[in-house]
Amino acid sequence: MKKRNPGWGLRAPKTTSERRAALARFGRRAFLDPSGLRYPVMSRSGHLDAEGVLAAYKRAAQQHEPRIRAKAKALGRRMRLDWARRNPGKLGVFFIGRGRTVQVRDAGGRIVVQGRLPKRLKASRPVIMRIAKDLMVKV
């Protein structure tokens, strides 16, 4: 039987004395809100914890704290956590000029394909995406 990894709940500094000790020992980087000793992201052993960052992100979203949420997401990106990364699979269609020249861009804003659509094409966005992917030349 496979051993389960003990969760963030067992590694997190819970009591105020544990949190004060973590602040004294590891500094302000142990918390996303060090002045209030809230949102710990380091375990009691002093390692940045991926589950702690995710827990801080979710709790900040629940508590409507956008500044803390943004800090948690930025830290997640620096740690290269999957949930914090931008979705590279999302594509967007952008019309240039009078509307016949089309660019398809990914979530990062990079141009994936670019080209001109045929005349007399009146279609919805998903249809244009399909046609654009078929007609366009890779950039």
Are residues 96 and 75 part of one domain?
no
Are residues 18 and 69 part of one domain?
yes
Q: What is the pTM (predicted TM-score) of this model?
A: 0.60
Q: Are 30 and 48 in contact (CB under 8 A)?
A: no
Burial tier of 88 (Cβ tally within 10 Å: 0-12, 13-18, 19+): exposed
Are residues 111 and 63 part of one domain?
no
Are residues 78 and 99 part of one domain?
no
- The answer to whether residue 2 is domain-embedded is no
Residue 8 scores a pLDDT above 70: yes
Q: Tell me which of 84, 104, 126 is where a domain ends.
A: 84
Residue 29 scores a pLDDT above 80: yes
Structural domain for 97, as ranges: 91-138
Structurally, how many domains does the chain consist of? 2
- Reported as a single tens digit per residue, the pLDDT across 112-129 is 667 776 666 665 666 666
Are residues 57 and 22 part of one domain?
yes
- The answer to whether residue 75 is domain-embedded is yes
Are residues 79 and 12 part of one domain?
yes
Taking residues 23-41, report their average pLDDT.
95
Are residues 104 and 43 part of one domain?
no
How far is the C-alpha of 24 from the C-alpha of 102, rounded, in Å?
Answer: 56
CB < 8 Å & 24+ apart, contacts of 47-54: 48/75, 48/79, 49/8, 49/11, 49/12, 50/76, 50/79, 50/81, 51/7, 51/8, 51/11, 52/8, 52/11, 52/12, 53/79, 53/81, 53/84, 54/8, 54/81, 54/83
Are residues 61 and 108 part of one domain?
no
Q: Are 32 and 22 in contact (CB under 8 A)?
A: no
Neighbouring CB atoms inside 10 A of 121's CB total 12
